[in-house]
Chain A
Amino acid sequence: AQSVTQPDIHITVSEGASLELRCNYSYGATPYLFWYVQSPGQGLQLLLKYFSGDTLVQGIKGFEAEFKRSQSSFNLRKPSVHWSDAAEYFCAVGAYGTNAGKSTFGDGTTLTVKP
């Protein structure tokens, strides 16, 4: 069964500082991996995705993530955080084949940005 762990429940960074959000997954083959952002009371917005190829993927809003198969990780990074980045971030693993379209999410990391 696939699973996702986001070890950090809450992270606080200062505006302008760098950010790394951790994500570890469990999946039997090469996974589809996603990062989503959710503002309070809103749905999920896709930041970036990894299906295959280059293990460093670029997303919207200046985010990037690196897929590391040996560590079963897909950490999200941003070099300089803006106050508007404060939100909840979810990592997800998606299946393909017979389970295509069924995504499993972590419990999220809440990001607070200090002025």
Chain B
Amino acid sequence: DAGVTQSPTHLIKTRGQQVTLRCSPKSGHDTVSWYQQALGQGPQFIFQYYEEEERQRGNFPDRFSGHQFPNYSSELNVNALLLGDSALYLCASSQPTGEETQYFGPGTRLLVL
């Protein structure tokens, strides 16, 4: 049983560009959450997708947007990249039973130059 997978593993962009990160949830999971982890800090919640809709959102600007597909996979899009967007982006999935255990992917390391 594959766990949560993310692609790409690493990415380098320049300021002002746009980026798309991808996540496939663990089998049987229908909820996907995205987190940003800056160097030396804990993960911060960006948003969560359930039934192809954004269900919750953290304190991130509208430059951060997402999408969930019918197969429950998800994308995170960031527009107009800033140097401060450099971070590890983590995807987490959970199952629809109400238990709130999230399983994390290995992350995508984004560097903005």
Residue numbers of A with Cβ under 8 A of B are 4, 32, 34, 36, 41-46, 49, 51, 90, 92, 94-96, 99-108
With A107-B40, A108-B42 given, is the CB distance from A101 to B102 under 8 Å? yes
Query: Do A101 and B105 touch (CB < 8 A)?
Result: no
For chain B, the count of residues having a C-beta within 8 Å of the partner chain is 29
Question: With A43-B106, A43-B107, A44-B90 known to touch, is A101 a contact of B100 (CB < 8 Å)?
Answer: yes
Q: With A32-B100, A43-B104, A108-B42 known to touch, is A101 a contact of B90 (CB < 8 Å)?
A: no
Instruction: Let me know if B94 is at the binding interface, CB within 8 A.
Output: yes
Residues of B within 8 A of A (CB): 4, 31, 33, 35, 40-45, 48, 50, 55-56, 58, 90, 92, 94, 98-107, 109
Are B99 and A107 closer than 8 Å at their CB atoms? Answer: no
CA distance A104 to B107 in the complex (A): 17
CB neighbours of B42 from chain A (8 A) = 4, 90, 92, 105-108
| Nearest CB of chain B from residue A2's CB, rounded to whole Å | 11
CB-based contact A101/B103 at 8 Å: no
Instruction: Please state if B100 and A46 are interface contacts (CB–CB under 8 Å).
Output: no
B56 touching A101, Cβ below 8 Å? yes
